[in-house]
Structure 1
Amino acid sequence: MLPGRWPFALFALCALVLVFVTWQVAAGGPLLRADVRAAGLLRDSAMPDGPAELLADLGNVPVAVPVLAVAAGYAAWRARRARIARWWSGPAAATLLLAATLLLVVAMKALIGRPAPPGPVGGTGFYPSGHAATSAAAYGAAVLLLLPWTRGRIARRGLVTGCLPAVAGTGYGLVRRGYHWPLDVLGSWSLCGALLVLFALCVPGCGKSAGRRDTDGPPDPPVG
């Protein structure tokens, strides 16, 4: 596969997973039996309730949105200092990305009306997970905004690898505490994955490592 085509392949994969999982949940397909078994295994895992609750809280709006706001503010400041045309486009697009994610999640919850798992909550409207979508969209967009202004290959890799445990931990905590089924989380991840790929493709400079390959000086500003 050509290097320039991986974003399109990733978008297609996320979209296919989203469609398949949504179909299974809405139609009560056989995948739900595996979903129930996986939920039981995660609910019985050894992590205490307190740490699991803290992980689930990473998807709260008061936690995730300020992280994205700080990243957007820093990216806007750096782009304006570098005299980048439309320096505000990346942060503005990230804000729209999060808003669109939450609107899509609310619409899908209302249309599908999946019941809650046995646990502390009840009712319907649990697919996809709003907390999992918030964490994936906010932390993922923050990483894409910061990557062009992060100096050094190791630092850029650390930024990405630091985001992944936060998103994965949120999903695990939500299932461990009985707030969501595993497929609720997977649906949110696939939705956000597709939207983040579009974000990286449509916003100039976002997600790209700008500047020279050496780490002796500050990176050149991204083109945009």
Structure 2
Amino acid sequence: MPVVLGVVLLLVSWQVAVDGPLLDLDRWVRHAVRETRHTLHSTLLNHLGKAFSDLGGGSVAVPVLLLGAAVAAWRERGAGLARWWLPLPVAVVTAGLIPLLVVPAKAWFARPGPFGLPLAADQWGWYPSGHTATATLGYGVAALLLARTAGGRARRVLAAGTALLVAGVGLGLVWSDYHWLLDVVASWCLGGLLLWALARWPLTGRPGGTPGA
């Protein structure tokens, strides 16, 4: 999985940097989505698209991340695990890492949005999608931290729910014409790589204060 995510991320980034032929996919998807939106003329779908897009904002995803970390720390402390407090700094570092990863990339690629208007002096660009990255890492890290003390069924529910939520944010951005599809795909890949790495990093210890996986 990490190899696939890394290859896709590099390929898409290269194509965005050189304005390559893969970007025709973005234009085709945008045209198809606009035609579908016009044909359906569904106020409900339009509101859902915007609502899911908003769930990728830092004002929503970051508080959920911090709350999830607090609950995870409380549960780990109750379970008698060493380093039970570690989910809290992990969440804080994650919240600070998102803009450090996304903003420089946006400024470097300086990709115009779907409407094709030139970037203003105070705009960073659209690639990669900041809302998608925030949702992927914010909700994803919260789910990973909570899964540490969850049972097998609860972990599956957390994983499925988080995947659906993150997918909804990305698709909502494309449906609402806020982002190109490849902007979203790149952030899914970036977030997926970081989540894969974090899932393999020991965050807790065994009962009694002995460090361990």
- TM-score, normalised to structure 2, is 0.85
- 1:72 aligns to 2:69 (yes or no): yes
SS at match of 1:156: helix
- State the Cα distance separating 1:30 from its structure 2 match: 0.6
- 1:129 aligns to 2:122 (yes or no): no
Residues 46-195 of structure 1 correspond to what in structure 2 (within 5 A)? 46=40, 48-118=45-115, 123=119, 125-151=125-151, 153-195=152-194
Long gaps (5+) in structure 1? 1-9, 211-221
Residues 201-212 of structure 1 correspond to what in structure 2 (within 5 A)? 201-204=200-203
Runs of 4+ off more than 6 Å: none
SS at match of 2:115: coil
- State the Cα distance separating 1:88 from its structure 2 match: 2.0
Aligned partner of 2:28 in structure 1 is 37
Long gaps (5+) in structure 2? none
Aligned partner of 1:16 in structure 2 is 7
Aligned length: 199
RMSD of equivalent CA atoms: 2.3
Q: Which deviates more from structure 2 when the two are superposed, residues 142-151 or residues 129-138?
A: 142-151
- TM-score, normalised to structure 1, is 0.81
- State the Cα distance separating 1:87 from its structure 2 match: 1.6
Check the 8 A contact 2:83/2:204 in 1, yes or no. no
- State the Cα distance separating 1:97 from its structure 2 match: 2.5
Cα distance in structure 2, aligned partners of 1:11 and 1:100: 19
- Counterpart code for 2:126: F
Q: Deviations over 1:77-102 (max 9, x none)?
A: 11222332222223322331332222
